[in-house]
Amino acid sequence: MKKEEQHLETLFKRRFGDDPISFNPLPNSGSYRQYYRLNGRETTAMGVVNEDRSENEAFISFTQTFLEAGLPVPEILGEALEDHCYLISDLGDMTLFRYLTGVRQERIDFPDELAGLYRNVLQILPKFQIEAGAKIDYSKCYPRQAFDRQSMMWDLNYFKYYFLKLATVPYNEQALEDDFETFTRFLLEAPSGFFMYRDLQSRNIMLVNEDPYFIDYQGGRKGALQYDVASLLYDAKADIPQDIRDQLLVFYLDALESYLPGKREEFLTFFPGFVLIRILQAMGAYGFRGYYEKKRHFLQSIPFAVSNLRNLYGLWMESESNPRLPTLMKVLDHIIGNPSFQHPESVSQGLTVTINSFSYKNGIPEDHTENCGGFVFDCRALPNPGRYEDYLQLTGKDQQVIDFFQREEAVTEFMKHVWLIIDQSILNYLSRDFQHLFVNFGCTGGQHRSVYFAAKLALYLKGRKNVNIVVNHRDLPLT
C-alpha cells in the first residue's frame, strides 16, 4: 500500500475508531487527484490524495465556510495536509451528469424532471456566490484570488496552445492576441466581487435522494456571477437544448433578484462573453487531455462544444454591445465549419474490453491504455484439470475441459461473482465515456482455468451495445 493510502487508513481509524474493511480506488477523472472509497463496518467515507497542498487548503477552507452557511457540500471528516490527504463524507456515485445520461438514453427530449434538477441547483447557486461568497477567505484561493485579467489570458491561451495549435487551426498570432486583449477588457467591466465556483458542471454535482450536493470547488475565486451560470448551462456533454437553457437562465435571474434586485439587464449584457470564454477554456481542456495527454474520450466533447459555439456565434455577431473580435470570430467560424470537429474520426465509439488469460509464472499483464487498471482475477483456488493426465494436452477452449469446469460448483459460483463485478464496471464506464476496461484471468500455467474464464467472459459480453471485445491468451502454449 502506498504511503498516502496508509495515511488515509490512519485518518479513517482516528475518525471512526476502527480500520476500514475495504479500500477501493475510484477511476481517475479529469484531475490529478486520486479518490478512494473506504468502507467500515457501519460507515463509509471518501479519501482524497492530492500532492498540491494549496489546492487542498482551498477546498477545506471553502468547505468550512459553505457548511457554516448551510450549503449542501461534503463534510470534512479528517485531514492530514502535511501528508497530502483528507477524508470527506461519501455522497454516493450518482452525479447529475450520470442521472441525465440515464434519462436521455430512454428519451430524446429534455424532460421537466431534468429541468427541475437544474432549477434546484440554480436556486442554491446565488447563496454560494453572494451570501457565502461574502465570508470566503480569498487568501486561500489557488492559483489566483480572482478571475482577473491574468486568469482570463491563461484561459484564452490555453485554448490557443492546446486546441488551436494541436488541432492545426490556422490563425494570425498577433491579431488573435489583440482580440484577446479586447475581449478581456470587456469582461473585466462586469461586476466581479462574488464567489466564482469556476467548474460548476454536471459532473461536479452529486445527487443524494435527488437533492443536489456540490463538490470540486477548490478552484474557486472571486469573479463575476455570469461565469458559473455559463459553465452549468453550456456544459458540453450535458447538451441542454437552447430553449431549456433560456428558461433556466430566466429562473436563475429570478432567484438572483432576492440577493441583487434590478441587476438583470446588467447581467445579460456580459453573459454571452462569459459563455464564450467558458467554452474556449473547455475546448482548451479537451485539447490538452485529448490531443496532448492522449486521453481520447475527452475528444468526444468537442462536437458538443462546437454546437454551443454555433448557437452563440450568430447572436454574438448580431449584438452591438459585444466587442468586435474579427480574428477570433474568423477562427470560430473555421471551427464551426470544419466537419472533423463535429465528428472527430480519432474518437472510437464505445468501450473496448480487453480480456487476457495468463500464467502467474510470467507475471501479470500490463495495461498501457489511458485508464491503466481494471481487474485481475486469480483462478488458482479453483479445481485444476491440469492435474489429470487426460487434460494435460488440452486447453480451456477444448470441450472436454469446458465439461470438466461446468461440473464444478465452485467454478459456477466464482463466475457468478465475477460477472456481477464486470457488469457493474461496464455500466459505469459507458456512462463516463471511458474507452477501455482491462480484465485478466490468471492461473498457474495459463492454459486451462484462465483460458476458460477469458473465453466465457468474451462469450458473455458478445453482442453488448457499444462494447468491443479483444481476447488475448498470452501464455497459451502454441500448437
Same domain, 84 and 101: no
Same domain, 277 and 398: no
Give the separation between CA 396 and CA 386, rounded to whole angstroms.
Answer: 10
Same domain, 207 and 78: no
Name the strand (E) or helix (H) holding 369: none
Same domain, 355 and 335: no
Dihedral angle, C-alpha 396, 402, 408, 410, nearest 10 °: 40
Q: Which residues, 6 or more positions from 262, have their beta carbon under 8 angstroms from its beta carbon?
A: none
Same domain, 234 and 274: yes
pTM: predicted TM-score of the whole model, two decimal places? 0.73
Other Cβ atoms within 10 Å of 87 Cβ, number:
24
Q: Distance of CA 30 to CAs 23, 199, 204, Å?
A: 22, 12, 11
126 is a domain residue: yes
Last residue of a domain, one of 295, 310, 342: 342
Domain count, the chain: 3
What CATH number should be reported for the domain holding residue 70? Answer: 3.30.200.20
Beta-strand (E) ranges in 151-269?
Answer: 194-196, 205-208, 211-214, 221-223
Beta-strand (E) ranges in 313-364?
Answer: 351-359
Q: Which amino acid is at 280?
A: L
Give the separation between CA 37 and CA 328, rounded to whole angstroms.
Answer: 44
Domain range enclosing 402: 351-473
| Ordered per-residue pLDDT tens for the chain, 479 residues | 578 789 999 999 999 999 999 888 887 666 779 999 999 998 999 999 999 999 999 999 999 999 999 999 999 999 999 999 999 999 999 999 999 988 887 777 899 999 999 999 999 999 999 999 999 999 999 999 999 999 999 999 999 999 999 998 999 999 999 999 999 999 999 999 999 999 999 999 999 999 999 999 999 999 999 999 999 999 998 999 999 999 999 999 999 999 999 999 999 999 999 999 999 999 999 999 888 887 777 888 999 999 999 999 988 988 889 999 999 999 999 999 988 887 654 444 678 899 999 999 988 988 766 666 789 999 999 999 999 999 999 999 999 999 999 999 999 999 999 999 999 999 888 877 787 899 999 999 999 999 999 999 999 998 888 898 988 898 886 44
Last residue of a domain, one of 51, 69, 89: 89
Last residue of a domain, one of 33, 67, 89: 89
Same domain, 33 and 127: no
Same domain, 329 and 389: no
Same domain, 451 and 374: yes
Of 443, 475, 462, 472, the closest CA to residue 355 belongs to 472
